[in-house]
Structure 1
Amino acid sequence: MTTETTIELAIFADYFQFYIQDETANDDFGSLWTDEAVERLFATSAQSIGVGTVRNMTVPVVVSLHSQEPATDFGEWDMVNEGSFTVRSGCVAIAGCTDYLPDAPRLSVPPGSYRVRVSYAGLDTLSEDGLEGDDFYRVQLWPAPTAPLAVVKARSSAAV
């Protein structure tokens, strides 16, 4: 497995979310956040992945592009979700929902179908006011056929 590109970001997760999307996607993000999607902190559409966060603040995110499925290391994470999306433009934007999309960080990728694995850590480390915490979000992308959404590791009910 080779990591082709890694980007470390601090994303303003306004409304407790950020997006990984084809830069030309025009999704209605509001309709993606069903009750089930909010609970699993993960929403999908054809050209976008919505990542839920436990803070409505700037959160640390690492995004990495891989040539094949990365090794599994689920033990150290609070929760892991996977989904698929299609990149038609050859460019993936990573942005908070209120960010100005033209200024969002981008990854250049060959057009096609991608699998996205989001691993969540520190979900139960929030301060009482919910403003501070050690939550962390890792996003891994690799070319793969479209497959159904999968909750690879569910969050323990004690942490909710």
Structure 2
Amino acid sequence: MSETGNNKSKIKTKRLFLLGSLLLISCLSFSQGKYNLDFFTTHNQFYLCDSAFTGTTGDTTFWNNDAQNARLGTTEDIIGIKTASYGHIKAELNVLNTADTEKDFSKYDHVVEGSVKLSSGIIEILNFPDTKIILKAIVTPARYRVRIYSYSIKNVNPEDDEGTDHYKITLWQGEDKGRKVLKAYKE
């Protein structure tokens, strides 16, 4: 085979590889998924964010009184989820193709919604305070609504590492409607 023919073959192979990679990324970013989470965090909180987040959780507006009562701190590209347990957390994340339609909140102690912008197309779940990546997943770059269902948080000592609390998080593309408590837990 001539050198020109060999170069054409290499270029064709590279193009096929790139096309296949783009198709794989495209399929992954539009699919829904369920992720089970079992990890340790501290200070009764963990985070869901864009992998390239620029927001800050350290100022007084992030965990203000409204955020504490709603059990959800928010910025443009990172949200904080308040937990009942201080350390060990069990949760699940469900990435949906359409809006969450669950309306019966009777089995949950607290339900809240917020918004987050995932510009990079990579969502992360981070613990606190060392921001260790618990989960990294591909999503379509967009603004998302996030709903957090908290259950079994009654009778949990907030200073205990282990508790009965559990968190179901649903995520779908949607416009920013701010933070909204759908069912409030009274401590």
Offset, 1:11: 2.7
TM-score by length of 1: 0.88
Aligned residue identity for 1:93: E
SS at match of 1:15: coil
1:58 corresponding residue in structure 2: 88
- Moved runs in structure 1, 4+ residues, more than 6 A? none
Offset, 1:97: 2.1
Q: 1:28 to 1:126 in 2, by over 3 A?
A: same
SS at match of 2:54: coil
SS at match of 1:30: coil
Query: Is contact 1:80-1:118 (8 Å) kept?
Result: yes
1:136 corresponding residue in structure 2: 166
Alpha-carbon distance between aligned partners in 2 of 1:136 and 1:153, rounded to the nearest angstrom: 16
SS at match of 1:38: helix
Higher strand share: 1
Q: 1:88 to 1:11 in 2, by over 3 A?
A: same
Correspondence for 1:48 among 72, 78, 97: 78
Query: Is contact 2:49-2:118 (8 Å) kept?
Result: yes
1:110 corresponding residue in structure 2: 140
Higher helix share: 2
Gaps of 5+ in 1: none
SS at match of 1:14: coil
Gaps of 5+ in 2: 1-30
Query: Is contact 2:85-2:157 (8 Å) kept?
Result: no
Listed one character per residue, the Cα deviations across residues 34-73 of structure 1 (whole Å, up to 9, x for unaligned) are 1221222111110011100111111101011000112213
SS at match of 2:175: coil
2:3 corresponding residue in structure 1: none
Correspondence for 2:151 among 121, 129, 149: 121
Offset, 1:125: 3.1
1:71 equivalent in alignment to 2:98: no
TM-score by length of 2: 0.76
Q: 1:129 to 1:50 in 2, by over 3 A?
A: closer
Considering only aligned residues, what root-mean-square deviation do their CA atoms show, in Å? Answer: 1.8
Query: Is contact 1:11-1:95 (8 Å) kept?
Result: no
1:27 corresponding residue in structure 2: 55
The number of residue pairs the alignment matches comes to 154
Offset, 1:127: 5.1
1:38 corresponding residue in structure 2: 68
